[in-house]
Amino acid sequence: MLESKQPLPASYQTKFSQYLASGRSPIHRCLPRGLPSANILLEIDFQQSIRYECGTTILLVQVDLQTMKYGFIIDNRKCIGCHACTVACKTENDVALGVNRTWVKYVERGVFPATRRVFQVTRCNHCDNPPCVTICPVSAMFRRKDGIVDFDSDMCIGCKACMQACPYDAIHLEPDRHTAAKCHYCAHRTEVGLEPACVTVCPEHAIVAGDLDDPVSEIAQLRATQSVRVRKPEQGTRPKLYYIDGDESAIVPTAARHEPFYMMSQRNPRLHGGGAVYDPGSPFLQQNALAAYDVSHERPWGWLVPLYLWLKSIGSGVLVLPAVAVAIGWMAPNRLRDIVLSLIAMIFTAATAMALIADLTRKDRFLRILLRPQNKSWLARGTYVLILYSALAGLFWLSSMARLAAVSAALVWPTILAGFLAAVYTAFLFKQCEGRDLWQTPLLGPHLIVQTLLCGAVVFAILPRSVRGDTSHEPLPAIALAIFLVLHLAMMLIEVTMPHATENGGYAAWLISRGPFRILFWAGSVLAGVLVPLIFLWLAPLSPMILATASLLALAGLFAFEWCFVMAGQSVPNS
């Protein structure tokens, strides 16, 4: 017996009969051969089985979706850039103005009169290894058994992590629902044997959809006999959107020059974060390649994410320096210092969590990360890491308040280790952001640890002597601050000057060092945030006023760097 059966809409019955008879249905190979074209589909159990009538016989056919792998081929030899696929997609799926599930990019190449216009139909690649599914903390993005990457708007919390993970700019936020959406292969049509709307409407049959694992299907035969390519194969996503005669200037997002206006529109200046940055001085531009039409994409994460990184660095490292100094005998245990520092740790960790929640577009659904987490996501894992660190810091504070010295001594190092984990988990989260290659640097984890130690030294230096306690090494706060400032400077310079494996990462680093972020980086992060504090510490390392000024400048410079790192990473176009 079938379960969860849904009656097929009457308007689809005739279409399905004709489609099945044509032999082009994605599920036709699962049905018995030689059926008359008058068969009528009666019911469908989505993704599992179909039931239809053939004369006086009612047949039930099980569909093995494990043997199916849906994909697309875009035949650029036929595409005429008519935008019919874009319009059909918007109509079929009720896509709001200002966002697109599929769109056509125009690139013009050459010098007049030897010019050529090329088109690129762009949408979700329905990857076999979809990073948007891995990073989603609540399984709102998921890969079906038939290879379609789908989404559940009712589950989405609006964290926008999937938008950072997608290397193809295929995901957007629905303006009305404030949840993630994208091409879902017209799953509601595919499940009843119909092709996606964009395939049906294309006047040149330039879009081919079907089962890549069916050797007799048109899409499988095209892939086997034609020279095809995919976008960004180096990301390891195994995309299933193939291009015949794909042009390099359109395939590579950083290749074509973009003007403030296109042939039929202007770039949208009201996008959140301003969208991608197309700097005319980019070293990655191809000669004589101009984007004549494209759509804009927002920067998903705004100022709250640099703030989150900054707050987390402060909160997770405040206990380290005093604990090390006590362990090596440079300082005596101090109950008041432990109370103050653990309280600072709890306050800044709570502020970190508040920044994360504030950045969600569906804050009312935040508890789903705790109640229904997707355990492969480092956004979900990181939430539990912050809870663990907050709990240990809270217990350490309580034991210090209660004068339980033995308990405090037992808790201090587990709390410090949890703080390091809270600091470094963001490197694993950013590693899942496959669309932001700057964030894939192997130095990010160590740099986050250095930032945490730097913030711990800043807090330690700012503490009044009555709270900090006496030390046998009077310049200890200044020395520690100077050491971590130098390490921070070295890692910043390496991250923006070292060679990057991809143009995406290289362009983001260029935007920081030579592009629109250069003034904030060199004047704010390097000069005011590192060099000036080092000069102050060298001139008067024992002056409380100088020490406090250098510490505050270091914090300001660190926030400037977090801003450059997060925003430049998102400023690279992915489509």
304-570 homologous superfamily:
Formate dehydrogenase/DMSO reductase domain (1.20.1630.10)
Q: Where in the chain are the domains?
A: 6-63, 70-293, 304-570
- Gyration radius from the chain CA atoms: 28
**CA 265 to chain centroid:** 27
* Residues with Cβ within 8 Å of residue 165, at least 6 apart in sequence: 131, 132, 134, 135, 432, 433, 434, 435
Amino acid at 385: V
Encoded tokens for 183 = 């091409």
Q: Where are the beta strands (DSSP E) in 428-488?
A: none
Instruction: From residue 48, give the alpha-carbon distance in Å to each of 7, 196, 215.
Output: 14, 19, 22
- CATH architecture type of domain 70-293: 2-Layer Sandwich (3.30)
pLDDT recorded at residue 239? 95
Encoded tokens for 27 = 């599920």
Q: Where are the beta strands (DSSP E) in 246-397?
A: 289-293
d(CA 333, CA 520): 41
Encoded tokens for 144 = 């079906």
d(CA 164, CA 575): 13
Q: Is 170 helix (H, G, I), strand (E, B) or coil?
A: coil
Encoded tokens for 351 = 């502020």
d(CA 107, CA 122): 13
Amino acid at 357: I
Residues paired with residue 194 on neighbouring β-strands, in sequence order: none
Residue 75 phi, psi (nearest 5): -95, 95
The structure's pTM equals: 0.86
pLDDT recorded at residue 300? 92
pLDDT recorded at residue 271? 64
User: Environment class of residue 414 by beta-carbon count within 10 Å: exposed (0-12), middle (13-18) or buried (19+)?
Assistant: middle
Encoded tokens for 421 = 């984990």
Torsion of Cα atoms, 185 then 299 then 359 then 556, to 10°: 160
Residue of 497, 526, 522, 525 whose CA lies nearest to 509: 497
d(CA 23, CA 29): 8
Each residue's pLDDT, cut to its tens digit, for the chain (575 residues) gives 233 334 444 444 444 444 444 444 444 444 444 444 434 444 444 444 444 444 444 444 444 555 679 999 999 999 999 999 999 999 999 999 889 999 999 999 999 888 899 999 999 999 999 999 999 999 999 999 999 999 999 999 999 999 999 999 999 999 999 999 999 999 999 988 899 999 999 999 999 999 999 889 999 999 999 999 999 999 999 999 999 999 999 999 999 998 888 887 777 766 655 678 888 888 889 989 999 999 888 889 999 999 999 999 999 999 988 888 888 878 788 899 899 999 999 999 999 999 999 999 999 999 999 999 999 999 999 999 999 999 999 999 999 999 999 999 999 999 999 999 999 999 999 999 999 999 999 999 999 999 999 999 999 989 888 787 766 566 888 899 999 999 999 999 999 998 888 999 999 999 999 999 999 999 999 999 999 999 999 988 888 899 999 999 999 999 999 999 999 999 999 98
**CA 133 to chain centroid:** 11
Amino acid at 159: C
**CA 448 to chain centroid:** 19
487-490-496 Cα angle (round to 5): 140
